[in-house]
Amino acid sequence: MLTKLKQRVQQALTVEAKAAHKIGLTPNAISGVGIVLAFLSAVAYWEWKTNIFYLLVATGLLLLSGFCDALDGVVARLYEEATVFGGFLDSLLDRYADAAVYLGIIISGLCDVLWGLIALSGSLLVSYSRARAEAAGIEMESIGLAERAERIIILAAASIAAVFWQPTTAMNIGIILIAMLSNLTVLQRSLYVYGKLKKKSGN
């Protein structure tokens, strides 16, 4: 849903992309920084009980990880460094980043375990459904309510609310929303693929 906005953001990141390239950062290196930030975010979520403001740290690290996810693509396109393996690696690391953050939240007790697992499964399946569809030649970008950008925004908003309200209640609301929207997105994509394949077959 936010794909078009993401494209505009990526266009606005030219200055940052040039700076990153100037200091020698490749798209894969930026992807690597992003996954490290995501794991640190997961640790901060895990440690929230020792200090409630760790939730703000976790949120900041999560948003920086998302920033890296946008920046690596800009650098790759701007300097013609995009490769098939680079795209594969970026997608793979994004899945590890998602899993780490959700597991950090679940293990920390910030959300109900069942809803956390549903949110995690839905988030991974959103990406898997796109990969399978595009392998069949069907473009999936912008199809669905909860792509990665939307999920990060929901999680960040819930985390900030958790600092100033009841932490587990706020996070549960965010996780339940992600669980519902991500699985709805999988359904949307499944129906979209079905319609496209049916049209192709002429039935």
Active site members: 94
Say if residues 105 and 45 touch (Cβ distance below 8 Å): yes
Say if residues 41 and 67 touch (Cβ distance below 8 Å): no
**Which pair of structure tokens corresponds to residue 50?**
């020792």
CA distance 122 to 183: 5
Say if residues 116 and 102 touch (Cβ distance below 8 Å): yes
DSSP label at residue 79: T
Burial track 77-101 (b if 16+ CB lie within 10 A, e otherwise): ebeeeeeeebeebbeebbbebbebb
CA distance 12 to 6: 10
Nearest to 58 by CA among 182, 50, 1, 94: 50
CA distance 132 to 4: 22
**Which pair of structure tokens corresponds to residue 175?**
């996780």
